[in-house]
């Protein structure tokens, strides 16, 4: 998806939903990005499931219409604009706490499919992270607890 210039300061991939905090460097419609993101990732997810011979999971994703054979993502998505630094950090903390609230881990940074570990100095991340403090020109010591 080289079509968009996107920074990713935070994410959590939960078993049944995803949170992504993204900063976009150009004007466009978020619905266009999400359409392309879902299309691109759906193809890769389906191919990975097929390679792993996970036929039950593939059957669960069947969604036969004239345009689509499988469905990975729901049609809708929620979007929030986070312009104030404290609000953005509050949301980042909220998404990082998701795996703890669902009893998947004790500490947010221990969840493999999250950016929480990045902010605790871990380097073995599922996806690379763009530091929110650097992106926004914030002093990390002022905001982080």
Q: Give the pLDDT confidence of 51-72 residue by residue, as tens digits.
A: 888 878 787 777 877 677 777 8
Measure the CA–CA gap between 99 and 115, rounded to whole angstroms: 12
Residue ranges and CATH numbers for the domains of the chain are 6-143 (3.30.70)
- Residue 19: which of 127, 105, 92 has the closest Cα? 92
Measure the CA–CA gap between 36 and 58, rounded to whole angstroms: 21
Measure the CA–CA gap between 107 and 117, rounded to whole angstroms: 9
pTM above 0.85, yes or no: no
pLDDT tens digits for range 97-137: 999 999 999 999 999 999 999 999 898 889 889 888 888 77
Place of tokens 């909220």: 94
Q: Coil, helix or strand for 21?
A: strand
Measure the CA–CA gap between 108 and 71, rounded to whole angstroms: 29
Measure the CA–CA gap between 10 and 32, rounded to whole angstroms: 20
The DSSP letter of residue 75 is: S
């Amino acid at each position: 998806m080289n079509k968009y210039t996107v920074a990713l300061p935070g994410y959590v991939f939960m078993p049944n939903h995803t949170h992504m905090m993204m900063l976009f460097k150009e004007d466009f419609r978020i619905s266009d990005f999400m359409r392309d993101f879902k299309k691109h990732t759906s193809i890769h997810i389906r191919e990975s499931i097929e390679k792993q011979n996970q036929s039950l999971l593939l059957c669960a994703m069947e969604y036969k219409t004239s345009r689509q054979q499988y469905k990975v993502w729901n049609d809708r998505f929620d979007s929030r604009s986070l312009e104030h630094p404290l609000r953005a950090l509050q949301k980042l903390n909220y998404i990082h706490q998701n795996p703890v609230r669902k009893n998947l881990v004790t500490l947010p940074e221990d969840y493999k499919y999250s950016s929480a570990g990045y902010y605790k100095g871990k380097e073995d991340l599922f996806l690379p992270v763009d530091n929110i403090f650097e992106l926004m020109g914030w002093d990390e010591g002022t905001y982080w607890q």
